[in-house]
């Protein structure tokens, strides 16, 4: 053994045991949280956020278009982490291009990155649509994106000719992540695409526009099923059901694009539709309102159709806007849901549940758990909206007589304060929310029903539906089976 190397480094290197470090607490006393710093509103940092960054919502939207690729005007990390998130949720390959910002772009701006980047993307992948998604850095630098895109189009025309260059739609979506979450990113994507592509020809198409928001392929299929049963052909703006849940076939040509997704012609035709429904109001309303202003297409806001009352509201609004009858098959679906609710009421009645996630999903789920006779003891959204509290309070007011405890509402909260609150709730039965609630559920000793964005720690959830009568029935089965299968402490069963 040489004098330089310590004696204990053997030829095999360090063993696992050598590397184990004994953890010593900083203090032997338990230090309770500073109560003033528990509410998110009192802190300047978010701890364990229940939201993610704005470009993710815009990228999600662009990936619901036919032959489309999002182009992220920012650093590689802003792209890689979104692709990683999508791969975990959808288990599908998804192409996202990046301007690949380095120090020079941060100092001199990202003009060269976007001009060269769009050129390379086009000549290699030949997309029909490119959604240019900005990021924190490009917005802070103050990139003049409209002029950059004009310069990129000029370069493309010179290289591939006017006809081919003009056949590619390049749409800018401004997503400075410091002013909103993924929900607002999706909302802005709807606004940008409708604003730059939709047209009114004066010939009504009789179709109905659906802006689904950040719901899963299974949910979109359920919405389409209801509309088709009513004899209505929908245009789904950002239809991820066939792009992020595409069948596996050998590619007929390269570069590969899945067959599905909303086409440019369909977006153009949205201006001639009868009405636009934003299934998730906060992720779609901007597009629906703009279409109403621009083309006179009636806008009908959510609520997200989860449970009986909200699905009734959706189906009735569609029937009234289009003059169509609600068919027997849809009425029967409703009857089956109500039947299941009656069959399972003794499992759900007087149960305590905590709900968290994106605002519209939480509003839909809260109404549904109230319909099941449960008390939503804590309701939290990580993306605050002006209307969230009013919407939740209106639902709570309606069901207050059956509650076993006063509910607590968190608008723009985080999972830290949510967990701290739940630790004080006695005999909690369930938490309903996305995958980031796993540890909280484990800490509280209750099961987590996965619903909403993101779900990355289970297979197949992107194919499941929680909307419509049929989706709600499946969600109810999961709630009841989870309650039946969970080992609650004896004291909890005595309530």
Residues lying near ligand SF4 in the complex (CB under 6 A) are found at 53, 55, 74, 77-78, 81, 135-136, 177
| C-beta closer to ligand SF4: residue 58 or 226 | 58
| C-beta closer to ligand SF4: residue 73 or 262 | 73
Cβ atoms of residues 276 and 180 within 8 Å: no
Pairing state between β 408-411 and 234-236? unpaired
Region class of 277: left (phi > 0), else alpha (psi between -120 and 50), else beta? beta
| C-beta closer to ligand SF4: residue 95 or 492 | 95
| C-beta closer to ligand SF4: residue 219 or 358 | 358
| C-beta closer to ligand SF4: residue 81 or 125 | 81
Q: What are the percentages of helix, strand and coil residues in the chain, rounded to 5?
A: 50, 15, 40
Diameter of the chain measured on Cα atoms = 90
| C-beta closer to ligand SF4: residue 182 or 411 | 182
Q: What is the 3-state secondary structure (H, E, C) of 240-251?
A: HHHCCCCCCCCC
Where helices occur in 6-110 by DSSP H, the ranges are 16-19, 54-62, 76-90, 103-108
Closest approach of Cβ 262 to ligand SF4, in Å? 24
Closest approach of Cβ 45 to ligand SF4, in Å? 14
Cβ atoms of residues 193 and 237 within 8 Å: yes
What 8-state DSSP symbol labels residue 172?
Answer: E
Which pair of structure tokens corresponds to residue 318?
């569609």
Closest approach of Cβ 184 to ligand SF4, in Å? 12
Question: What's the CA gap between 84 and 267, in Å, rounded?
Answer: 28
Neighbouring C-alpha atoms within 13 Å toward the C-beta of 202: 0
| C-beta closer to ligand SF4: residue 76 or 201 | 76
| C-beta closer to ligand SF4: residue 135 or 412 | 135
Question: What's the CA gap between 293 and 299, in Å, rounded?
Answer: 10
| C-beta closer to ligand SF4: residue 175 or 281 | 175
Closest approach of Cβ 84 to ligand SF4, in Å? 11
> How far apart, in Å, are the Cα atoms of 351 and each of 55, 224, 338, 360?
38, 33, 18, 22
Closest approach of Cβ 80 to ligand SF4, in Å? 9
Angle (deg, nearest 10), helices 76-90 and 54-62: 60
| C-beta closer to ligand SF4: residue 71 or 347 | 71
Closest approach of Cβ 110 to ligand SF4, in Å? 13
Closest approach of Cβ 98 to ligand SF4, in Å? 11
One-character DSSP codes across 411-471: ES--HHHHHHHHTT-TT--EEEE-GGGHHHHHHHT--EEE-SS---SSSSGGG---SHHHH
Region class of 238: left (phi > 0), else alpha (psi between -120 and 50), else beta? left
Closest approach of Cβ 77 to ligand SF4, in Å? 6
């Amino acid at each position: 053994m040489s004098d330089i190397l310590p004696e204990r480094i053997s030829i095999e290197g360090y063993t696992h045991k050598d590397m184990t470090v004994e953890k010593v607490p900083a203090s032997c006393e338990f230090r309770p949280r500073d109560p003033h710093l528990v509410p998110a509103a009192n802190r300047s940092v978010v701890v364990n956020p229940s939201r993610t960054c704005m470009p993710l919502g815009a990228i999600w939207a662009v990936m619901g278009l036919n032959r489309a690729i999002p182009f992220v005007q920012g650093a590689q990390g802003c792209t890689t982490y979104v692709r990683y998130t999508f791969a975990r949720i959808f288990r599908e390959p998804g192409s996202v291009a990046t301007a690949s910002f380095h120090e020079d772009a941060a100092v001199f701006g990202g003009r060269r990155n976007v001009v060269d980047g769009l050129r390379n993307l086009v000549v290699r992948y030949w997309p029909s649509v490119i959604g240019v998604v900005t990021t924190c850095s490009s917005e802070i630098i103050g990139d003049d994106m409209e002029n950059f895109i004009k310069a990129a189009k000029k370069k493309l025309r010179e290289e591939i000719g006017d006809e081919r260059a003009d056949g590619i739609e390049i749409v800018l979506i401004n997503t400075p992540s410091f002013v909103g979450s993924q929900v607002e990113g999706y909302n802005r994507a709807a606004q940008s695409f409708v604003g730059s592509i939709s047209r009114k020809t004066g010939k009504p198409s009789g179709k109905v526009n659906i802006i689904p928001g950040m719901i899963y392929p299974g949910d979109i299929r359920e919405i389409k099923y209801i509309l088709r049963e009513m004899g209505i052909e929908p245009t789904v703006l950002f239809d991820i059901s066939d792009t992020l849940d595409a069948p596996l076939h050998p590619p007929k040509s390269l570069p590969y694009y899945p067959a599905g997704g909303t086409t440019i012609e369909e977006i153009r035709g949205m201006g001639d539709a009868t009405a636009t429904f934003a299934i998730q109001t906060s992720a779609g309303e901007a597009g629906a309102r703009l279409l109403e202003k621009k083309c006179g297409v009636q806008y009908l806001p959510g609520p997200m159709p989860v449970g009986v009352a909200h699905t009734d509201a959706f189906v009735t609004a569609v029937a009234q806007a289009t003059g169509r009858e609600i068919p027997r098959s849809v009425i029967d679906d409703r009857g089956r849901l109500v039947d299941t609710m009656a069959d399972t009421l003794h499992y759900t009645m007087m149960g305590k549940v905590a709900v968290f996630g994106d605002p519209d999903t939480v509003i839909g789920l809260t109404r549904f758990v109230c319909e099941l006779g449960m008390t939503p003891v804590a309701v939290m959204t990580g993306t605050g909206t002006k209307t969230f509290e009013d919407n939740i309070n209106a639902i709570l007011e309606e069901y207050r007589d059956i509650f076993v405890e006063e509910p607590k509402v968190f608008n723009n909260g985080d999972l830290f304060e949510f967990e701290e609150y739940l630790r004080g709730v006695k005999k909690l039965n369930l938490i309903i929310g996305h995958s980031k609630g796993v540890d909280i559920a484990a800490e509280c000793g209750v099961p987590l029903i996965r619903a909403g964005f993101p779900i990355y720690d289970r297979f197949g959830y992107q194919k499941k539906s929680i909307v419509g009568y049929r989706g709600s029935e499946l969600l109810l089965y999961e709630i009841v089976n989870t309650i039946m299968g969970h080992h609650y402490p004896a004291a909890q069963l005595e309530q």
